[in-house]
Structure 1
């Protein structure tokens, strides 16, 4: 059997290269084979860090009996959801519609033409064999009925995609309609979202709901922004309680920094151990903004340790950031991370081992499995020097263990999130190595994955893949670049962000000829290879969806350049999420964050005075202000090519800060305390 996956760009696909299953990638050849041989497709979708993907691979796809059953009847296709989010979105919509839930691994039986006839997630070997046998018999004895079922399912899903069907209870629907001239969400809308979140909030353990608990990164950013604009006490209480609970529990790596993907329990004790780039980039920015607002030492520590984790464990040889670390080590979930009291004693000695076990909640019965415990840090040690020694010793011992595999695939959107977070961390925390890493990542990403005015979704070892960038790639990277521009003053970052946003509006936003006052935002470009429909996601989940990512970048771009068309488009996109934000604000966190920035202006601060100490002092005040969406640039008086500096001059020969809100400007100020007072005035 030809090993078709061994040269794949995706590390996930290469994990399956030696399976006895005759896997193919999703491409024209595989789809043509299905049509020409009239064989159904077995579609398996997952990703490299997915624990249950590994379990199903070991149980079933490495098994000769299962492989024979698949190869006999099906054209088997394996897809990395991180590389092809468009394919994943289409068939996850089908999976959730047909089963009421979704997840990975995703297992679908498709007609040769791609219509789904059966979908599910993880299947143990007996269940999978039973399915394969049933489909084989049905296809042999009554293929016409199977085809008819698939056509009916696809037609229902297409109607759903076109907007003729109501969204499901999660707020998901595969099309995102926005009014061309709509107003943004109102202050009443965002306040109502806080009230809804308060009813879902867990006041004892932080977070929302019970278990499992995912880090609500974008919701926390919204709550910080709501408090900054309105002083809403409920908003800051929910944010701070959740930030602290996540940082103290086992979901945060107390030794190496960085967060696991989610907690399986309500108390944040036991994580699902995979570490994703997007989670850590979003949480780095969230803890950084919490520290900016509060000065809390815990917030700064977690922000720094998360940034350190990105640089130490996810940075690639090219200076970009890898997608994830695996949940498993040698097939055992979490094996690298957990300890027993005896192991602590062996590493640290009797006295210090017992003391560390108490601090880190390592018990004889264990908080995880087999008498082993995750490491928590529910209180700060009285002796920080001692804890520093303990942390170094335990981390050194842990590094001697087998380590989880790393998915070295570079995802454009996630690297955009990392660029923005590291750039801000570098300047706010005065850690120049973080800013240098953000610049290196941006430069490498543009050199590798941006060509001919178009983005590629992924690269590996410096070679770009063939998958086209989707809306979130353009939005998140543009956001990272405008953040870099504000901090470095390097105009090419702003120019490239503008190119990306202009292209994104051409590729992903279209006007309905039957409804000229309406636009549709899709995740995939109009010239992408056709699927059952052009997928879109109008809800934020673990990361900003394409629509909200573009809205945020467009708003910042408009504030920096005065581009009113970009502002209008951002407002229209956010207005389109108002129903979702009212019903399920947990799935509209980034939309709500952008709405808060719109309600705050956002503030525009231009500091003139070149590189003088006085200008630096003014700029520091601006950057440490918490007003939602605030943009700040610095440069020489009336510096050409920087719109916010146009017609800005020194004041009596002194560095000055010019503050505008919604294109209404205040008199320039020359003292940091004057600037702080100006910025503190709420709209």
Structure 2
């Protein structure tokens, strides 16, 4: 009979820094971290490798640990038959991508925890996600799976090895999805895309749109901020009201829902229902970075105060909950506290009544707090009726009610702070920091917020200090904790960092950020390029501990490194006059355009790049004594697809600024699609030109 009492076990994970691996350091399972020691042991002992992949904020990872990995009898079975390896997917996304693809090929679906069985040479042959301790939910139990695999390896090894080889062939083919583009095709690139393609992208997006609750598709519902961003950009150039309405409806419903923390700010990973009520409560740095980015666009377009407040509240969450002393951003907050998902965030009505006293009735009505509860007999704060409608319905004074809400939220926040908080994943991941850096820099620009500017600059300095492998090199590491950086950086890390540097220039007008962006882009092209196609590999050319080099194309929870790099190369090619980078980025887009038009929900950044290729990239050079003031004013306007450079002197190394004379009256030079316009001295005239509608 299983013994689930706590024991003083410890395994090799006790020496790791990942919070997720450390969570398993006292399991009776003889876990290894991924590395040569475990891989070599599997070969020597001719044992199947079991890899279990998850992350610290993953609820079902915790469930499977409690049910199976903490069970001594189950652990004994695992230790006897397998070499067991625990992997933090956030530390090793390269391994996660490979073995997730394998499981999706085997079962048609994937997720975390991800449990995969490999031959001793690390080739996958079987796997799945969560397995219960006893047979349930039409799933075999974890023990049944372990026994079946162990027996099959003894009796049918040749069949397993053959299956692994077939799966490897499939993975190799799927990793090389691209076809070369001929020279004649690239010459016609500017005619390959039309506004009709962008209309088709819009139509394919809107087919999946939820016109009642916002968002796209059915539960579980993810924010899909890339799709929202495309709709905002598309509406800007087409004046299509349906696009704007669906984009803002999606943002509004999320901000009113339980997926958004009404008390402390910050958005959870996804909603388990169509109404955005019940989230999967984990709060990831990257989700909140992407939310801030699109909220900045909504603010510039509408100047509606609710979007400004949401930007400040979400950046506030990152600053207060996810920022370490030197300026780095932590990875995530767990979904669970005290072993219960969401316990930190939910409320009983009586509890709220006692805290708020005479103000509880209005507050509870506004945030849908009832005696019965709106989720599992508890209450998740959400807004059913928007603020403006609620005060009319209740005949309330706007300012007094707003003050009441703020006061009540502060009281609940003070009480909540005394609860046991969800665990903090204190890894600092380069790519996620760069996403947050770009978003916070953008927020600092559009809100003209000096405090956010300081946060952004401090984070960049933290990255430069802590993630560089060598002081004078562009080679970076992927994670950092307690001053120790680990694992070579991946394509995403560099791509997001380059994009952040480009955003930092517009925040600071410091040319060094463009120079940094160029250096990192050169490093990527030298070390991540595929000689047979134009896409970039996810891993560095010198990395040796993976069975295959993949090229990631899809914009999922985070943008693909390839889509971001394509956008980076288009901008940097203009800034530094590097035509081959523009050619490469255009070819990347051409090769992917068919899929982008058909499946824009999975290729949102690519969709935006395709729209950019049609409407053109606005190249702005602002020169003159008050050019910086003009540039700041331009930044207060929604102007997608632009590069802006500023100078108060004539001699300049950047091609955008060359030949632009400085006069007492500052001028704005605009070029677009290889055509330049007569200089403007008024921003209103510039806006008339760049905001022309395209049918």
Query: Shorter-chain TM-score category?
Result: over 0.9
User: What is residue 522 of structure 1 aligned with on the other side?
Assistant: 537
Matched residue, 1:272: 280
User: How far apart are the structure 2 equivalents of 1:523 and 1:116?
Assistant: 19
Distance (whole Å) between structure 2 residues aligned to residue 156 and residue 421 of structure 1: 37
Q: 2:91·2:478 contact (CA, 8 Å) conserved in 1?
A: yes
Does the alignment pair 1:431 with 2:449? Answer: yes
Whole-angstrom distance in 2 between the partners of 1:567 and 1:472: 20
Residue 488, structure 1, aligned to residue 508, structure 2? yes
Structure 2: gaps of 5 or more residues: 1-8, 135-140, 392-397
2:684 is the alignment partner of 1:676: no
Asked if the contact 1:605/1:622 (under 8 Å) is kept, the reply is no
Give the distance between the partners of 2:263 and 2:467, measured in 1 at CA: 33
Distance 1:38 1:398 in 2: 52
Say whether 1:648 aligns with 2:660.
yes
Is residue 2:372 matched to residue 1:365? yes
Deviation (angstroms), 1:176: 8.0
Cα distance per residue 1:56-81 (max 9 Å; x no partner): 11111111111101000100001111
Inter-CA distance 52–2: structure 2 relative to 1 (3 Å threshold): closer
Deviations 1:400-429 (A, max 9, x none): 111111111111111111111111111210
Residues 618 and 675, structure 1, Cα contact 8 Å, conserved in 2: no
1-side partners of 2:225 and 2:680: how far apart?
A: 35
User: Residue 8 of structure 1 aligns with which residue?
Assistant: 16
Offset from partner CA, 1:20-69 (integer Å, 9 cap, x none): 11111111111111111101011100011111111111111111111101
Deviation at 1:682, TM superposition (A): 4.8
How far did residue 617 of structure 1 move? 4.2
Seen in structure 2, the aligned counterparts of structure 1 residues 178 and 286 have a Cα distance that, compared at 3 Å, is farther
Give the unaligned 5+ runs of structure 1. 164-174, 513-517
**Partner residue in 1 for 2:81:** 73
Give the equivalent residue in structure 1 for 2:411.
Answer: 393
Contact 2:234 2:611 in 1 (8 A): yes
Q: 1:348 to 1:178 in 2, by over 3 A?
A: farther
Provide the C-alpha distance between the structure 2 equivalents of 1:416 and 1:431, rounded to a whole number of angstroms: 19
Deviation at 1:616, TM superposition (A): 4.1
SS of alignment partner, residue 282 of structure 1: helix
> Which one of 479, 484, 492 corresponds to residue 472 of structure 1?
492
Q: What is residue 527 of structure 2 aligned with on the other side?
A: 507
The reply to whether residue 161 of structure 1 matches residue 168 of structure 2 is no
CA distance in 2, matches of 1:272, 1:405: 15
Q: What residue number does 1:515 align with?
A: none
Q: 1: distance between equivalents of 2:482 and 2:423?
A: 16
Paired residues of 2:10 and 2:27 also in contact (CA < 8 A): no
Q: Does 1:497 align with 2:497?
A: no
Q: Which residue of 2 aligns with 1:297?
A: 305
1:34 match? 42
Structure scoring higher RCO (CA < 8 A, sep ≥ 6) equals 1
| Residues 639/275 of structure 1: CA separation in 2 closer, same or farther (3 Å cut) | farther
User: Are the equivalent residues in 2 in contact too, given 1:472–1:546 (CA < 8 A)?
Assistant: yes
SS at match of 1:93: helix
Choose the corresponding residue for 1:462, options 470, 480, 483. Answer: 483
Taking the aligned partners of 2:380 and 2:514, their CA distance within structure 1 comes to 47
Which residue of 1 is the match for residue 593 of structure 2? Answer: 578
Question: Which of 465, 469, 474 is 1:453 aligned to?
Answer: 474
Change beyond 3 A, Cα 1:332–1:188:
same
Query: CA distance change for structure 1 residues 177 and 524 in 2, over 3 Å: closer, same or farther?
Result: farther
* Partner Cα separation in structure 1 for residue 448 and residue 633 of structure 2: 14
Q: Is the 8 A contact 1:176 1:521 kept in 2?
A: no
- CA distance in 1: counterparts of 2:427 and 2:376, whole angstroms: 31
How many angstroms apart in 1 are the aligned matches of 2:194 and 2:521?
Answer: 25
**In 2, Cα distance between equivalents of 1:280 and 1:81:** 19
Alignment: residue pair count: 661
Instruction: Report which stretch shifted further, 204-213 or 552-561.
Output: 552-561
One of 622, 625, 631 as aligned partner of 1:619: 631
Aligned mates of 2:222, 2:231 — CA distance in 1: 16
Aligned-pair distance for 1:143? 2.6
TM-score computed with the length of structure 1 as normaliser: 0.93
**298-307 or 264-273: which moved more?**
298-307
- In the TM superposition, 1:126-525 aligns within 5 A as 126=134, 127-163=141-177, 182=186, 183=189, 185-349=193-357, 351-376=358-383, 378-380=385-387, 382=398, 383-451=401-469, 452-465=473-486, 467-512=487-532, 518-525=533-540
Q: Distance in 2 between matches of 1:222 and 1:372?
A: 34
| Higher deviation after alignment, 68-77 or 6-15 | 6-15
Moved >6 Å (runs of 4+): 175-181
**RMSD in angstroms over aligned alpha carbons?**
1.9
Cα pair 2:346 2:378 within 8 Å, conserved = no
Structure 2 equivalent of residue 166 of structure 1: none
Tell me, yes or no, if the aligned pair for 1:219 and 1:586 is still in contact at 8 Å. Answer: yes
How far does the alpha carbon of each residue in 1:505-553 deviate from its partner, in whole angstroms, 9 at most, with x for none? 12222222xxxxx434321122211423212221111110111111122
- Deviation per CA, 1:575-622: give whole Å up to 9, x if none: 222122122110011111222233232101122234x3xx34421342
1:658 equivalent in alignment to 2:669: yes
In 2, the alpha carbon distance for the partners of 1:159 and 1:679 equals 43
Task: State the SS of the aligned residue for 2:37.
Answer: helix
CA distance in structure 1 between the aligned counterparts of 2:363 and 2:537, rounded to whole angstroms: 51
Deviations along 1:74-120, whole A, 9 cap, x unmatched? 00001111111110011100111111110000001111111112110
